[in-house]
Amino acid sequence: MSAAAASATNVAVIGGGISGAVCASLLAASGVAVTLFDSGRGAGGRMAQRREVMEDGTELRFDHGAPYFTVSDDEVARVVSGWEARGIVAEWKAMFGSFDREAGKFTDFEKEETTKKYVGVPGMNSICKSLCLEDGVVAKFGVTIGRMDWIQGRSSWSLASFDGRDLGHFDYVVATDKNIASPRFSGLTGRPPPLDLSLLPELSMMIQDIPVRPCFALMLAFSEPLTKVPVQGFSFNNSDYLSWAFCDSSKPGCARVPLNSQSWVLHSTAEYASKVINNIGPRKPSADALAKVADELLKEFQATGLNIPQPIFMKAHRWGSAFPATTVSGDDKCVWNKGMKLAVCGDFCASPSVEGAVLSGMRGASKILGCLNFPSGL
């Protein structure tokens, strides 16, 4: 297929997380015109980086979602190798372990030969940001999709924003938001979900209500290193509150906190997060509710006996439905409807990990490129 013919095809990608960014990048590299929409202020999704400013004006940055990722698939490994060559990914060579809350001690330390851990440089969002800036990708942030209409006569999709703006017609749509057809969207917004699954009855059982694991992240900055903690990251055993903790400022290529200080990100257990959300409701939590969560998670961190001082900065963030509890599409790694030119991609289609999301985005691009007569998809 000629580049001119490919560029006559336009694709909407909904979601600027890693799955959507990878899919958009691969399509654009083959000459397809791509418009990417994301409701956030920038690319990243769960690989976003949070910028915070302390009272004295000091700027802090936190990878408050996925702390790192690993790779086992050969296809994904080739892609990640390219990112390494571009300087947007590096290996995080750090010591990790497990902490038993009941015993009050570390019970396991990872050996050096365990799987490589990769991070975005200078932040986890660097990968998505870079992919969304590639030629052929037009990224529009701060845009929430409110409606997706299939126009049978034109064999295309019409998209509108949540506030009713016409966003245009598209030959194909790639949806990477698991709530695009979920009742969860209605619970958060009071509106019907953008995608009417009565158009796609065979997909409804797969994608209408994917179970999720909620989580609270706690971002912490300390005026000096935590000298009693012998690792840069660790999981918790026997804690009702915390699942893991990572020293965010120990990652390569980052200048996240002032000299000699240290930043950490903690993630709660899904059980703790579910209990809190059941009490306060599904909508955005108040500042007071988040402050209470922050206090409770910090108290649990300090109860480890690891000599955790009071932080100079502390803030909690809720990930309400970000982490899928299951996968839905089997070996295909994406949900694909050729007749209606719709791909649904994300870690919930492959495996609940960054690698799963990358692989699903690659599969979505491959399905569309296959329809455009690229011999082997990608």
Q: Which domains does the chain have, with CATH numbers?
A: 1-39+142-209+326-377 (3.50.50.60), 49-73+91-121+211-325 (3.90.660.10)
- Confidence (pLDDT) at 281: 85
For the chain, the 3-state helix, strand and coil shares in percent, each to the nearest 5, are 30, 30, 40
Nearest-angstrom CA–CA distance, 31 and 6: 5
Distance of CA 134 to the CA centre of its chain: 19
Tokens of 111: 């050996």
For residues 298-319, give the mean pLDDT: 97
Residue 171 CB partners (closer than 8 Å, separation 6+): 9, 10, 11, 155, 156, 157, 341
**Banded model confidence at residue 289, pLDDT cuts 50, 70, 90:** very high
Q: Is the confidence at residue 135, as pLDDT, over 70?
A: yes
Indicate the range of 95-109, 234-248, 282-296, 313-327 predicted with least confidence: 313-327
**Banded model confidence at residue 201, pLDDT cuts 50, 70, 90:** confident
For residues 107-134, give the mean pLDDT: 89
Question: Of 185, 211, 212, nearest to 196 (Cα)?
Answer: 185
- Confidence (pLDDT) at 193: 84
For residues 106-134, give the mean pLDDT: 89
- Say what the pTM is: 0.91
Question: Of 167, 146, 137, nearest to 36 (Cα)?
Answer: 137
**Banded model confidence at residue 199, pLDDT cuts 50, 70, 90:** confident
Whether 344 contacts 180, CB under 8 Å: yes
Q: Is the confidence at residue 111, as pLDDT, over 80?
A: no
